[in-house]
Amino acid sequence: MGSVEQSVVEALKFGEAYQADLVRATGFSKSRVSEVLTKLERDGVIGRTHVGKNYVVYLKSPPPERRQGKVTLGIIRSAEYPYVVPLKKRLYEKGIDLEIKVYDNGIDVMKELSMGKLDFGISPMVMQLFFYFLESPIKIIAPAGAGGASIVSGKYLSEHPRVASTKLSTMELLVRTTVSGAIMGEVGNMSYARSPESLVKMLEEGRAEAIGIWEPYVTMLTEMGFHKLTDYSDFGEHYCCTLASHSSLPEKTVSAVVSAFRDALSAYRSNPDTYLAPYSALIGMPYKLVLKAASAYTYPDDLSASIMLRQIEQAG
């Protein structure tokens, strides 16, 4: 199987995708992807369904196998988690099928996890602590990334700026830390959005003078001419997101996922470019944008209570 065919098949392992998204995710030309899809369809590897002016492309089911189980993982639409690509493979090798669901914000991830609709969730550390202290049935089990969170502003920033962020997020924590550190004036009005696209629109329309947002949207906005005021790396070692599990899961399952998670992080650190094209297709973001943005993240090995506490204290 050629490199284009392999890229398309890898991207579709996470589920169906629009043909236009496959073009963006793989980085190949529209005509080349169309040619490859025609061949794969003829060979019985994929199927296509006409939806509006586009095609939805999907892998045809392989022969049934005996599997040990299935787990679901919720993530946020971000450049932070390309390691879920090798994670899916590592778990498959252990006899566990991983279904990955992509959300626009961490609150929706944590609500679904708390209700048992997800088995695992990756979301902001501060948000997971909030749900934990509310006695939600979750356990924080591993760090999932650091970096990537920034304050982005337009040319004009008033003494008491209008700022927007997502609620209970690393970005909100960064906004409060930025104010405490006298990098930005006391916030005149704090607004909240439910998606990164809404935050971008608020900044573009001038309804917010600055926003707390994450990659790859930071890279997208700076390429549009907006200014990155600061990012979380300016304030020392920190966590952006952490991995949590539902408390009802058997310890054997949690241990298997944590072990595969660490292996997947190691694989991604060793060869990140291998996983960015299929990951871009999973989150529905352009491959070249994710490629530029992914380097903003680092991946701590262990959780530290002292780092968590310092982040909360810095935010006041």
Q: What is the DSSP letter of 104?
A: S
Task: At 145, give phi and psi (nearest 5°).
Answer: 155, 160
pLDDT of residue 103: 95
Residue ranges in the chain modelled with pLDDT below 70: 1-2, 14-15, 51-53, 61-68, 174, 177-188, 235, 311, 314-316
The whole-angstrom separation of Cα 187 and Cα 90 is 45
One domain for residues 229 and 278: no
Cα distance between residue 74 and residue 215, in whole Å: 18
224 and 155 inside one domain: yes
Domain boundary among 59, 87, 106: 59
Residue 152 to residue 184: CA distance in whole angstroms: 11
What pLDDT is attached to residue 51?
63
Instruction: Give the total number of structural domains in the chain.
Output: 3
Supply the pLDDT for residue 208: 92
Q: Using an 8 Å Cβ cutoff, are 123 and 130 in contact?
A: no
Give yes or no: residues 28 and 166 share one domain: no
Sign of CA dihedral 188, 170, 222, 278: negative
Same domain, 173 and 229: yes
pLDDT at 315: 55
Q: Within this chain, do residues 250 and 293 fall inside the same structural domain, yes or no?
A: yes
* CATH number of the domain enclosing 174: 3.40.190.10
- Rounded Cα distance, 233 and 178, in Å: 12
Q: At 178, is the secondary structure helix, strand, or coil?
A: helix
> Who contacts 268 (Cβ-Cβ below 8 Å, separation ≥6)?
82, 83, 85, 86, 275, 299
Range of the domain at 7: 3-59
Alpha-carbon span 11 to 254, nearest angstrom: 26
Rama region for 301: left / alpha / beta (φ>0; ψ in -120 to 50; rest) = alpha
Q: 243 and 117, same structural domain?
A: yes
What pLDDT, on a 0 to 100 scale, did the predictor assign at position 65?
Answer: 45
* Amino acid 67: pLDDT: 44
Identify the domain boundary among 213, 235, 257.
Answer: 235
pLDDT of residue 52: 63
- Tokens found for residue 240: 């952006």
What is the reported pLDDT for 161?
84
Domain's final residue, options 41, 59, 77 = 59
What is residue 96's three-state secondary structure? strand
CA distance 181 to 165: 18
Question: pLDDT tens digits, residue range 260-287?
Answer: 999 999 999 999 988 998 899 899 899 9
Say yes or no: 224 and 156 in one domain: yes
- Do 224 and 250 belong together in one domain? no
